[in-house]
Amino acid sequence: MGNSAYLAVRNLTISFTNSEHPTIRGISFAIAAGETLALVGKSGSGKTLIAESIMRLRPNVTISGEIFVDRQPILNLPYPDLVAIRRHKVAHIFQEPAWALNPVLTVGYQLLEIAEGLGRKDRALGMLRKVGFRDPLRIFRAYPHELSGGMQQRVMIALALMNRPKLLIADEPTTAFDVILQDQILALIKALQEDLGFAMLLVTHDFSILQRMADRVCVMSGGEIVERGVPDDIIFRPRHECTKLLSGSILMLPRESD
C-alpha cells in the first residue's frame, strides 16, 4: 500500500465485545484518490461491519490494526478529532435513507447543519440541484416523509457531499430500490464522482454493477478477503469458490471491444 492511498486499512481485525472470536480477521486494502474499490460478498460476510468500523460508527466492537485517512492514522484518534474527519474528509451513504434522515427536521435544516462557511443556503440549494432536483427550494423546505425513497436517497447523497469529502463510503446505496431507480442512483453517484473527484469504498452484494462502478474489487467471505482483482477478472475469471458462486448468480455480457 503506497503513500498515494487516500484510505489505507492494514491488518484490520474486528470483534464484538461479547464474542471470543473476531468477526473480521486481518483485512487490508487501500484506495487511491479518485478510485473506487468495491467490497463485495454475500450477506453476513462482514462488508458493512468494515464500512461502519472504519470511522468507528459501529458500537460494541473492538477494533485493532491500522487505518489511515490522507496518511493520518485515525484508529485511536480522540473523538472530537474523528468527528472533524467525518465532517471534512469522509462521508457515508447508508442503505436506508429514511433511517439516516431526521424525520422532524426539514431537508434544508439538515443540510445547513452540516454546511460550513458563508453562503451555506446557496451551496445547499446548489447541491440539491447537483443531485438532480429541478425544484431545490421545494426540497429544501420539505420534511423527509414528504419525499419518495429515491428522493430521500438523493438528499442523503447531497448531505454526504455537502462539504466536498475526499472519500465516500457507500454501503449498499441502491438495495432498497427497484431496478430503474437503482440505475438512476448509480448513474448519479458515478457522475458526481467524476465531477468532484472523490475516492469511494462501495459495499455491495451485486456483481452486476462491478464493471460499471469499480476500478478494483475485494471479495469477502467469512470475515476475510478471499480474492482481489479488476472487475473483469472477478466476474469472468473467478478463482475462489465463493467468487465463482457469486459471479455465477448473474447474467453478464462481455464488454464490447472499441
In this structure, what are the phi and psi dihedrals at residue 12, rounded to the nearest 5 degrees? -75, 125
**pTM for the full model?**
0.92
Distance from the Cα of residue 108 to its chain's centroid = 23
The amino acid at 86:
R
pLDDT > 50? residue 125: yes
* 64 beta partners: 13
Reported as a single tens digit per residue, the pLDDT across 14-70 is 999 888 889 999 999 999 999 999 999 988 899 999 999 999 999 999 999 999 999
Q: What confidence score (pLDDT) does residue 256 get?
A: 46
Q: What domains does the chain contain, in order, with CATH numbers?
A: 5-89+165-247 (3.40.50.300), 97-163 (no CATH)
Q: pLDDT digit string (tens) for 29-43?
A: 999 999 999 999 988
Residue among 3, 9, 32, 4 at smallest CA distance from 199: 32
